Amino acid sequence: MAPRAKLPEVKFSNLTKIFFPEKKVTKGDVIAYYVAVARFILPHLRDRPVTLIRFPDGVEGEKFYEKNAPGFAPAWIQTHAVARKRSEGQTNYIVINDAASLAWCANIAAIEFHPFLHRISNPQQPTHVVFDLDPGDGADLITCARVAFLVKEILDGLGLKSFPKVSGSKGLQLYVPLNTKISYEATGAFAKATAELLQRKHPDLIVSQMAKIQRRGRVLIDWSQNSPSKTTVAVYSMRGKNRTPYISMPVEWLEVKRVLRSKRPRTLFFTPDAALKRLDKSGDLFAPVLKLKQTLPKAFTQLAAAISAPPQLQKYEDKRDFSLTAEPRPTPKLSPKKNSTSGRFVIQKHAASHLHYDLRLEMDGTLKSWAVPKGLPTELGVKRSAFAVEDHPISYLKFEGTIPKGQYGGGTVMVWDIGTYRLLSGSLAEGSLKLLFTGKKLTGEWHMFKIRSADGKDVWLIAKSGQPAKLLTPRQEDSSILTRRSMAQIALDNYAQWQSGRR
Ligand code: MN
């Protein structure tokens, strides 16, 4: 960006519009807060891409997450382009490095500011670890305070200083400053291991899985925010969660302790006025988060690197709780790359919420996977949809059994066909794969190709090419190529196993 003499002027609009109904807090009040807090919040936003939460009609109207700088943003608003993962193109994140940009964002009704944990100069390096303590129904800030001290105890034991802030909603967040060379794999694994350890010790108080399991009366230690794609609400950001504005405000450990004793969580809710008054008096309690250099225990980060799933299998791992499902855990290393134009394939029949087939091709050390609702076509001229899903570990080739109800993909899985394939032409990147399958049930050529659907999503289609495939008998259709069992038998065996396990 070209240097400029002075900050641009921001034109404000609709200043009298009510944004928070309870005390008739207007949009003008929101902007005034951000102008007043600018010198405190800006160091924490500096050089970080940020997601805005905009409330054009105040907190009782619709809100939306703004990742991309809107088209009408003036040229002096700094942006940072990040290539999209799931589709073509890029997201132009706003970067807020001056008071004018902050005020401009507030004027487009951004009440909340959620920066990433890294700076634009080094998108793979988080500057801190965050533990987001999120209370379920029946739990509150006091429950979070109890959990905060349990997390602190572990961190203290490792010689790591941590800094608490209230989220301004219902929970607490602990920041562990690092400001040293570290990867998201290490911080994510560290936060996850800490959360799981605490859940094991205090199962009545703590939950560490993202899955929607019973959270009543307990606190989720959300470790998953330690990821290159996640943001956390900024310190000093206003929240749009209530009819009154509250600020995500740093607090002292002593204050957290006092709340535990007094059982009066209201003392940790800060209105904009209270927040500004406190800042004038005590300054930025979060200043050390930007400066303090700390390192996670080396033995831990090495272990984390050795046991964490490769990034290609992160999604697979995140969706599953391996204490509940018998599906294979991803191994830390991908299987060695073989010839990229051939490999094994499997088609699994899967009675999840809808019966479907899953096609998986061994490629680049994992199983590239598609859900094919109606299965592969056998006749020429028939096209079937196939939806790309997350990569699966190679060991999934022989997975047969029942995924428990309530888990991701809950239902019975049969290894319906298995064999080898050869890539005759095309590639994933080109969105076209001409495949020759040599399976036990399916043999011959199929063509898979990617199209853009009317709503802008990528969909694969799969068609039979070459010769029509031979038809299968009903018996073959419902029989495992590994064990000859039917879907019903697999489900029944699983039930019997479960019964014997209970005895
Ligand atoms: Mn499936």
pLDDT digits (tens, 9 = 90+) for 224-270: 999 998 999 999 999 999 999 999 999 999 999 999 999 999 999 99
pTM, two decimals, is 0.68
Ligand 1 center to 415 CA (angstroms): 12
Q: Which of 252, 284, 305 is the last residue of a domain?
A: 305
Ligand 1 center to 356 CA (angstroms): 7
Identify whether the C-beta of residue 442 lies closer than 8 Å to the C-beta of residue 376: yes
Query: What digits encode the pLDDT tens for the residues 130-163?
Result: 999 999 989 999 999 999 999 999 999 999 999 9
Identify whether the C-beta of residue 84 lies closer than 8 Å to the C-beta of residue 54: no
Ligand 1 center to 88 CA (angstroms): 25
Residue 402 domain-assigned (yes or no) = yes
Ligand 1 center to 389 CA (angstroms): 9
Ligand 1 center to 455 CA (angstroms): 23
Q: Mean pLDDT over residues 199-222, rounded?
A: 84
CA distance 265 to 172: 11
Q: What's the burial of 86, exposed, middle or buried (CB within 10 Å: 0-12/13-18/19+)? A: exposed
Q: What's the burial of 422, exposed, middle or buried (CB within 10 Å: 0-12/13-18/19+)? A: middle
pLDDT-derived band at 331, boundaries 50, 70, 90? confident
Helix (H) or strand (E) holding 492: helix 487-502
Query: What digits encode the pLDDT tens for the residues 293-317?
Result: 999 988 777 776 676 778 788 889 8
At residue 209, the pLDDT reads 77
Tell me how many domains the chain contains: 2
Long-range contacts for 453-458 (Cβ within 8 Å, ≥24 apart)?
456/87, 458/87, 458/388, 458/431
Percent of the chain beyond pLDDT 90? 75
At residue 251, the pLDDT reads 98
Query: What digits encode the pLDDT tens for the residues 16-51?
Result: 999 999 999 999 999 999 999 999 999 999 999 999
At residue 103, the pLDDT reads 97
Residue that is written with structure tokens 């009154």 in the block: 244
Ligand 1 center to 373 CA (angstroms): 9
Question: Per 3-state DSSP, what percentage of the chain is helix, strand, and coil (rounded to 5)?
Answer: 25, 30, 45
The amino acid at residue 19 is F
Ligand 1 center to 386 CA (angstroms): 11
Better-predicted residue by pLDDT, 339 or 443: 443
Question: Is a pLDDT exceeding 50 seen at residue 4?
Answer: no
Ligand 1 center to 500 CA (angstroms): 27
The region that residue 283 occupies, defined by phi over 0 for left and psi between -120 and 50 for alpha, beta otherwise, is: left
Ligand 1 center to 348 CA (angstroms): 8
At residue 243, the pLDDT reads 96
Q: What is the dihedral of CA 422, 425, 427, 430, to 10 degrees?
A: -160
Ligand 1 center to 416 CA (angstroms): 12
Ligand 1 center to 423 CA (angstroms): 23
Q: Mean pLDDT over residues 412-418, rounded?
A: 97
Average pLDDT in the chain: 91
Query: What digits encode the pLDDT tens for the residues 48-103?
Result: 999 999 999 999 999 999 999 999 999 999 999 987 765 667 899 999 999 999 99
Ligand 1 center to 338 CA (angstroms): 25
Helix (H) or strand (E) holding 44: helix 27-45
Ligand 1 center to 352 CA (angstroms): 7
At residue 470, the pLDDT reads 87
Query: Would you give the DSSP letter of residue 266?
Result: G
Q: Are 291 and 350 within one domain? A: no
Ligand 1 center to 458 CA (angstroms): 18
Distances (CA, A) of 305 to 97, 271, 299, 302, 390: 34, 42, 10, 5, 21
Q: Which of 305, 320, 351 is the last residue of a domain?
A: 305
Question: Is a pLDDT exceeding 70 seen at residue 2?
Answer: no
Residue 313 domain-assigned (yes or no) = no
Ligand 1 center to 131 CA (angstroms): 32
Ligand 1 center to 325 CA (angstroms): 14
Ligand 1 center to 487 CA (angstroms): 14
CA distance 487 to 348: 11
At residue 3, the pLDDT reads 44
Ligand 1 center to 119 CA (angstroms): 37
Ligand 1 center to 274 CA (angstroms): 52
Q: Are 352 and 468 within one domain? A: yes
At residue 503, the pLDDT reads 40
Identify whether the C-beta of residue 239 lies closer than 8 Å to the C-beta of residue 245: yes
At residue 323, the pLDDT reads 76
Q: Are 248 and 341 within one domain? A: no
Query: What digits encode the pLDDT tens for the residues 164-182?
Result: 999 999 999 999 999 999 9
Q: Are 361 and 431 within one domain? A: yes
Ligand 1 center to 234 CA (angstroms): 38
Q: Are 168 and 288 within one domain? A: yes
CA distance 268 to 265: 6
At residue 491, the pLDDT reads 92
pLDDT-derived band at 330, boundaries 50, 70, 90? confident
Q: Which of 285, 305, 325 is the last residue of a domain?
A: 305
Neighbours of 17 (CB within 10 A): 14
Three-state secondary structure call for residue 501: helix
Residue 340 domain-assigned (yes or no) = yes
Residue 154 domain-assigned (yes or no) = yes
Residue that is written with structure tokens 């989720």 in the block: 220
Q: Are 371 and 301 within one domain? A: no
Q: Are 468 and 394 within one domain? A: yes
At residue 319, the pLDDT reads 83
Q: Are 53 and 187 within one domain? A: yes
Q: Are 247 and 387 within one domain? A: no
Q: Are 395 and 266 within one domain? A: no
Residue 323 domain-assigned (yes or no) = no
Ligand 1 center to 358 CA (angstroms): 5
**Which CATH number do you get for residue 173?**
3.90.920.10
Ligand 1 center to 213 CA (angstroms): 21
Ligand 1 center to 408 CA (angstroms): 9
Q: What is the DSSP string of 432-451?
A: EEEEEEEESS-EEEEEEEEE
Helix (H) or strand (E) holding 483: none
Ligand 1 center to 340 CA (angstroms): 24
Ligand 1 center to 315 CA (angstroms): 14
At residue 213, the pLDDT reads 62
Query: What digits encode the pLDDT tens for the residues 261-302?
Result: 999 999 999 999 999 999 999 999 999 999 999 999 887 777
Three-state secondary structure call for residue 316: helix
Residue 227 domain-assigned (yes or no) = yes
Residue 310 domain-assigned (yes or no) = no
pLDDT-derived band at 499, boundaries 50, 70, 90? low
Range of the domain at 344: 336-499
Query: What digits encode the pLDDT tens for the residues 334-361?
Result: 777 666 789 999 999 999 999 999 999 9
Ligand 1 center to 370 CA (angstroms): 8
The amino acid at residue 387 is F
Query: Would you give the DSSP letter of residue 85?
Result: S
Q: Are 341 and 301 within one domain? A: no
Question: Is a pLDDT exceeding 80 seen at residue 114?
Answer: yes
Q: Are 342 and 466 within one domain? A: yes
Ligand 1 center to 405 CA (angstroms): 14
At residue 1, the pLDDT reads 42
Question: Is a pLDDT exceeding 90 seen at residue 489?
Answer: yes
Ligand 1 center to 188 CA (angstroms): 27
Residue 162 domain-assigned (yes or no) = yes
Better-predicted residue by pLDDT, 79 or 319: 79
pLDDT-derived band at 500, boundaries 50, 70, 90? low
Ligand 1 center to 316 CA (angstroms): 12
Identify whether the C-beta of residue 330 lies closer than 8 Å to the C-beta of residue 315: no
At residue 7, the pLDDT reads 62
